[in-house]
């Protein structure tokens, strides 16, 4: 399977995860994600880091996955740059989870893994031969 198809499949998974995170943000039902004191999506979704400029970051992620999917279909060469930005944005949110909130959102971590996978799939890695 070529890189383009892998990116589209990963984007579909990302849309599902980000869509669910958006649903969780607007609903009061987080029971599937609130496992214990450490893995507590409610605390993460109620924090200041769940919103950027008044927009839930889950919806920003959803838009990002849709944008990457669109570029994967028509202008693949930009996918690596958009996914790099998404990866850095996601890593910053995970940094806040680890060092500030001391709580983890499982679906947020899954979304981070997906965007990083999209970046690694989208980059054309060249093999170097050493003599």
CATH number for the domain spanning 15: value is 1.20.1440.130
Structure tokens at 66: 């849709």
pLDDT by residue, tens only, the chain of 131 residues:
788 899 999 999 999 999 999 988 888 776 778 788 888 888 888 888 888 899 999 999 999 999 999 999 998 889 999 999 999 999 999 999 989 988 888 999 999 999 999 999 998 766 666 66
This prediction's pTM? 0.87
**Domain extent for 100:** 3-122
The answer to whether residue 100 sits within a structural domain is yes
Asked, for residue 130, whether it belongs to a domain, the answer is no
Q: Is residue 21 part of a domain?
A: yes
- Spatial CA neighbour of 101 closest among 89, 112, 92: 92
Element (H, E) at 71: helix 57-74
């Amino acid at each position: 399977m070529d890189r383009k198809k892998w990116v589209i499949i990963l984007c579909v998974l990302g849309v599902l995860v980000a869509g669910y995170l958006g649903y969780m943000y607007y609903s009061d039902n987080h029971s599937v994600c609130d496992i214990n004191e450490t893995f507590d999506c409610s605390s993460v979704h109620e924090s200041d880091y769940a919103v950027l400029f008044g927009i839930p970051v889950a919806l920003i992620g959803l838009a990002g996955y849709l944008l990457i999917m669109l570029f994967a279909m028509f202008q693949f060469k930009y996918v690596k740059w958009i996914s790099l930005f998404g990866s850095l944005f996601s890593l910053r949110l995970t940094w806040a989870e680890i060092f500030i909130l001391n709580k983890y959102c499982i679906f947020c971590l899954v979304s981070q893994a997906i965007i990083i996978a999209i970046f690694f799939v989208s980059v054309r890695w060249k093999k170097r031969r050493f003599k």
